[in-house]
Structure formats: C-alpha cells, structure tokens
Structure 1
C-alpha cells in the first residue's frame, strides 16, 4: 500500500517590489570611481556579489522632507509607475545612509521623523533630492527568489556631507565597502545588470548634462528588451 502523499503547495512567481539603488561617483573628471560593497555569501539576493547601495522602498519613505528633484527626473520616474518619485528618491538616500554611513543631505530639523529615518534626522539633515539624477531602471528577471523594480540614481561624491572615506556608521549588510575605479570594476564579482549600468555610466561620462533618456531593462519577455524613458526637458 502506497503512503498518502501530501502535495506540496504551489507557489507563484515572486512579487516585484519597488526599489532604489544609488551610484555615487567620485573624481569623475580624473579617475572615476563608484561606491560599492559586497553582499554576504548567504544573502537571499545576489549572494557574494559586489553591488551599489540599495534596497526596497519603505512605506515611510513617502513622508520625508525631500528637497526637490529636477522636473525631468520627476516626469521620468512617473512614467509607467505608480510609485511616487519622492518615495523612490528618499529610499535611495536612506539605503546609502544605512548601508555605507554616507549622507546626501541639506541642513534641516525634523520634529517627528519616521522611525527608520530617526538616525538620519538626528544629524540635523533632510535628504537632498537635488543631488540625485535618475539614471537607469531594471526589473529582476523571472525565476529569482526575490524580484525588484529598481530605479538607479546617480549622485556625485562632492554632494556628500560626510567624509567619503569613513564607513564607520554603516550597517552590516554590505562588506568591503570601497571606491572602485571604473577601469578596474570588471575584475570584481558583479551581477549582470551592474555590468550593464557601468557600461552606461562610461558612455554618460563622455557627454554633457543629463542623459537624453533613461534605459529601462524590463525583463518581461524573451528578448529582454531595453526601452527608453524620455520625459520632456524643462522649458
């Protein structure tokens, strides 16, 4: 007699969470470097990979006094998205602060900051949206244990209000925090999408002003096509 077999519950595809990632660029005109760290070997998402700081958007990110983004970035962030630009930009700045101890801020007092922003607010700063430029967007491919709709922001190390070489305030999510020269980045263990973003950054550094359009790596079909979020330049 065969034993009764209890069928395993079927699990659907992993839900896609809105996320923000930040590329902090240093010495852009001489020896370009980007701030990266290594994820833990047992991490559920991209274990052992060197990545930019970033993570999922929190509900409270919409309630911060963020200084204004540019109008073209506002429009591009709204394109094909129900997530507010403030939430996305704030999440990028918060993740940078939590994972590296580096801060993009402007002086300002918060009377009642959300809990996950209290340590930031205690420094006497608001998150500085003006320091950000919307640069790239990508959705994690199907079949991964976690999936994100990640917006990548570009910022200059010149806009940090912290010492760029001091990572004492970082939490323990990323190890080996360091400024990686673009010329040497391919020697690191990088996710595929990070390699794509770095290639876009190298091209961008040869141009002036904001990119004409933001690449959107959709990962929603077999071709994995890249579309462009253009928006309209302000008059």
Structure 2
C-alpha cells in the first residue's frame, strides 16, 4: 500500500466544562511516529472498512449528517464510528449507550465486550482538513466535537488506553497553544474557541483542502470561501 496516498480519517475533540473552564482531551504522539512525531494531538486516526459495519444506538443529528456526507465517498455514520473507535482505542473512553452487541466486527470487539453500542448523540462536525502533499502520511480528516458529559466512562481514567498516545490529559483551552501542536490543530482550537458559546453543530464547516490552490479554504454547507 502506498503510505503517502490520501486516506480518510476521523478525529474527535472531547471538551470539558465548555462554558466555564474549557479543556480538551489531548495526548502526545511517540518520537518514532512517522506522522507528527512528539506532537500533542486529539485522538484520531484512519477510517477502517469495518467502521462501516457498526450499528449506532441513535440516529445522527442534522446538520452534522448532511455536512459529513457532503463531498465524501463515505457515509456519515462510518466517519462517526471511526471517531468513536479511535477515542476508545487511544484513551479508553467510551461514547456509547448500554447494549448487547454479540457480532461486533474486528476492531470493535473490545468496545462491544464493555457492554456498549456507539452513540453519535451530541457529536458536532466542526472541521475538515487534508494533509498537504509531500508528507509521509496524508489524511482527509474530519474533526468531531463532543462534550465530556457524553462520555459513559470516568473522564479521568485512561487505564484502558492503548500506547499510541502518551501523557493523556485535559488541556485547558487557554493554555493549549503552549504545547507542541501541529499547525492544523492550532487552527482547529482557534475555531473551537471562537464558537464555544454557540449551541449545536455549525451549519457551515471549514474545510482546508490543501489540494486546490484556487479554493484552499472553503466551508461545507455552501462552499463559500472562509475569508469572505
């Protein structure tokens, strides 16, 4: 497989105390990682084929569903499922509703064994970005935002996390830029900070295309340039 080929990805931003003392869940990538070594990032990763086989405990709300389906060869539920799976794998945190799931596909068996079905309620599609050409890994990443109150697990317990991210922690939003962050993460954090007090998912979602110089930054849900 060509590792430099563009891959679909999902990233999840869990925010705590959104209206009082906002903090986001982040971890540090390993020094030997091919993609963004040593950077502090949100949980996330490539979308797997089995993410399209996952049942949801509830329907995905609008406008998140429509914006995720726009300009995409994946269903919105597939993208949401990948984000929830990546959060589970990298932090041990579960976004789900209690339920039996006896025939979970590979990659989801641990989640199902914990007694949950993934639940997309409250997830907001807030950003999309394509990794620029020339990088060792390239992703078309969708960023989903969710309130920590939606977690079914203890938000301070990371004992179930795999070892992909180190130093998992709740980073105060006003201190996040003091960490070693990828550029696009800084942009996403600024967008979140700007919209903290807006209720619900945005109708227009910023899209950093990085593959079309004439329209580098647009907004899904209207395709109007971000700077207009």
Shorter-chain TM-score tier: over 0.9
C-alpha displacement of 1:207: 2.5
Matched, 1:84 2:78: no
**Which of structures 1 and 2 has the bigger CA Rg?**
1
CA contact (8 A) 2:91 2:158 kept: yes
Q: Which residue of 2 aligns with 1:52?
A: 42
Q: Which runs of 4+ in 1 moved over 4 A?
A: none
C-alpha displacement of 1:108: 1.2
The runs of 5 or more residues in structure 2 that have no matched partner are 223-228
The runs of 5 or more residues in structure 1 that have no matched partner are 1-11
- 1:57-86 residue CA offsets vs partner (Å, 9 max, x unmatched): 010001111132113211111111111111
- 1:121-158 residue CA offsets vs partner (Å, 9 max, x unmatched): 01111011113111100000000011000000000100
Tell me the secondary structure at the aligned position of residue 97 of structure 2: strand
Tell me the secondary structure at the aligned position of residue 63 of structure 2: helix
134, 138, 144: which is aligned to 1:143?
A: 134
C-alpha displacement of 1:13: 8.8
Size of the alignment, in residue pairs? 220
63, 77, 87: which is aligned to 1:96?
A: 87
118, 138, 144: which is aligned to 2:109?
A: 118
C-alpha displacement of 1:206: 3.3
Q: TM-score, normalised by structure 1?
A: 0.90
C-alpha displacement of 1:39: 0.1
Counterpart CA distance in 1 for 2:201 and 2:115 is: 30
Counterpart CA distance in 2 for 1:142 and 1:224 is: 16
71, 75, 86: which is aligned to 2:66?
A: 75
Q: TM-score, normalised by structure 2?
A: 0.93
